[in-house]
């Protein structure tokens, strides 16, 4: 066991009553059967005056989480925001409970390959008690091991995270590979940080192959089925939920163009180009573009062969414009970060490229919680958990 060096902060500022009122007015405007707005406003003002915060009703929590997805400027897959399954876990405060429910989240979201959008909302930050936190950027991520020659086995993005967990006592598999699943790290003020191994049978992975290139399978590539984001805090009406992992399903380019293709990630484009026999001596042969297309074709093919939900960037771009039209017809602004909405491959061939969008923040929303990941690099060393069981 390791001693905890730095506890979580002991207090959160009181909730801004104006932000609470803004949310409640939105909730009642879009939920006409919600009851008396004035009575609810009076009750919430009393709670904030008394204890510095207030508790959302289950209906408010569900609506707030769904609208936070609707307002996510960087997400292209918002058309299905109403389908988000909200798990109300606000009474779960201990590390083992949070870890176990994260595992259950994986089970529910994976759904035998038919991916379901799910969010698991744990206890909020309050002036009396800090909320649980998850150190990992996503529930499932792969280790990165730096070799003596400076090269990396695995995911270079997670070298520092891997080194930190190794210093804290995590033991990688005896036979390391490029796709070793990192442990989950959960922290609470009472328990400190703990590491939990994710059950292998619940981390569904897709082996990569290509519809026309038999040698592609020999590269030994694979990727996990569900992208569960766990380093963003859910903000609803001034109440902050730092531990609220959520997922949709992958768009193919997230894996093929970014995780596999980026030069600071797996950087597979040169290897695929070599296998394809392309002329890499000059950039104007467009060998990078040709290799990247085949890499992305392999991802889409592999997920469909495995029966795991995935979408291509052309289809998802059309769906996003459908979502945008629905929002505009409802009289709502749809915030968009163009640099995230336009796909990282063949951007000008997608309809989302050729227009301008509304900017600015809409609330409720998700906010990047950089402190959670930073703690893994310079914070308290975690103890070992007893295992995250669903």
CB-based contact 205:225 (threshold 8 Å): yes
CATH number of 17-338+365-384: 3.90.340.10
% helix, strand, coil for the chain, step of 5: 40, 15, 45
The ranges assigned to domains in the chain are 17-338+365-384
CA–CA separation, 370 vs 109, rounded Å?
25
- Within 8 A by CB and 6+ apart from 205, the residues are 179, 222, 223, 224, 225
Angle subtended at Cα 193 by Cα 92 and Cα 142, rounded to the nearest 5 degrees: 100
Instruction: Give catalytic residue positions.
Output: 75, 78, 249, 254
Residue 358 has what DSSP assignment? B
Q: How many distinct helices (H) and strands (E) make up the chain?
A: 11, 17
Strand bridging mode 365-368 / 310-311: unpaired
Tokens representing 319 are 């769906």
Q: Model's pTM, two decimal places?
A: 0.94
Per-residue tens of pLDDT for the chain, all 390 residues: 232 334 455 568 999 999 999 999 999 999 999 999 999 999 999 999 999 999 999 999 999 999 999 999 999 999 999 999 999 999 999 999 999 999 999 999 999 999 999 999 999 999 999 999 999 999 999 999 999 999 999 999 999 999 999 998 999 999 999 999 999 999 999 999 999 999 999 999 999 999 999 999 999 999 999 999 999 999 999 999 999 999 999 999 999 999 999 999 999 999 999 999 999 999 999 999 999 999 999 999 999 999 999 999 999 999 999 999 999 999 999 999 999 999 999 999 999 999 888 888 899 999 988 766 666 666 556 666 655 654
Q: Which parts are annotated binding residues for heme?
A: 75
CA–CA separation, 270 vs 285, rounded Å?
13
Q: Is the peptide bond before 19 cis (omega within 30 degrees of 0)?
A: no
CA–CA separation, 102 vs 97, rounded Å?
9
- Cα dist from 312 to 76, 252, 303, 372, whole Å: 11, 5, 11, 31
């Amino acid at each position: 066991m390791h001693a905890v060096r730095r506890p979580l902060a002991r207090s959160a500022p009181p909730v801004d009553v104006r932000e609470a009122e803004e949310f409640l007015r939105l909730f009642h405007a879009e939920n006409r059967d919600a009851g008396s707005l004035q009575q609810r406003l009076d009750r919430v003002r009393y709670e904030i005056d008394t204890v510095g915060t207030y508790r959302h009703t289950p209906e408010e929590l569900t609506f707030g989480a769904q609208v936070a997805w609707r307002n996510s400027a960087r997400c292209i897959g918002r058309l299905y925001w109403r389908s988000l399954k909200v798990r109300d876990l606000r009474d779960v405060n201990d590390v083992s409970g949070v870890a176990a429910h994260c595992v259950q989240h994986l089970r529910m979201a994976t759904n035998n390959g038919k991916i379901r959008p799910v969010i698991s909302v744990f206890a909020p930050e309050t002036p009396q008690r800090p909320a649980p936190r998850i150190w990992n950027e996503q529930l499932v991520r792969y280790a990165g091991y730096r070799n003596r020659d400076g090269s990396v086995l695995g995911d270079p993005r997670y070298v520092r995270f891997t080194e930190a967990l190794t210093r804290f006592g995590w033991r990688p598999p005896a036979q390391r590979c490029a796709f070793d699943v990192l442990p989950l790290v959960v922290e609470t003020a009472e328990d400190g940080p703990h590491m939990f191994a994710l059950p292998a049978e619940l981390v569904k992975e897709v082996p990569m192959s290509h519809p026309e290139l038999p040698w592609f399978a020999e590269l030994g590539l694979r990727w996990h089925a569900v992208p569960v984001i766990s380093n963003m805090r859910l903000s609803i009406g001034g109440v902050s939920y730092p531990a609220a992992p959520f997922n949709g399903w992958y768009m193919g380019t997230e894996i093929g163009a970014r995780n596999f293709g980026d030069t600071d990630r797996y950087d597979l484009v040169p290897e695929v180009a070599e296998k394809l026999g392309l002329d890499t001596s000059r950039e104007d042969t467009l060998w990078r573009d040709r290799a990247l297309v085949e890499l992305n074709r392999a991802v889409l093919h592999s997920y469909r062969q495995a029966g795991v939900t995935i979408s291509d960037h052309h289809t998802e771009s059309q769906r996003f414009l459908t979502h945008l039209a629905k929002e505009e017809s409802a009289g709502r602004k749809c915030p968009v970060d163009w640099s995230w909405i336009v796909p990282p491959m063949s951007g000008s061939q997608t309809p989302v490229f050729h227009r301008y969008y509304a900017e600015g923040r809409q609330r409720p929303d998700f906010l990047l919680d950089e402190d959670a990941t930073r703690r893994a690099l310079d914070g308290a060393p975690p103890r070992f958990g007893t295992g995250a069981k669903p």
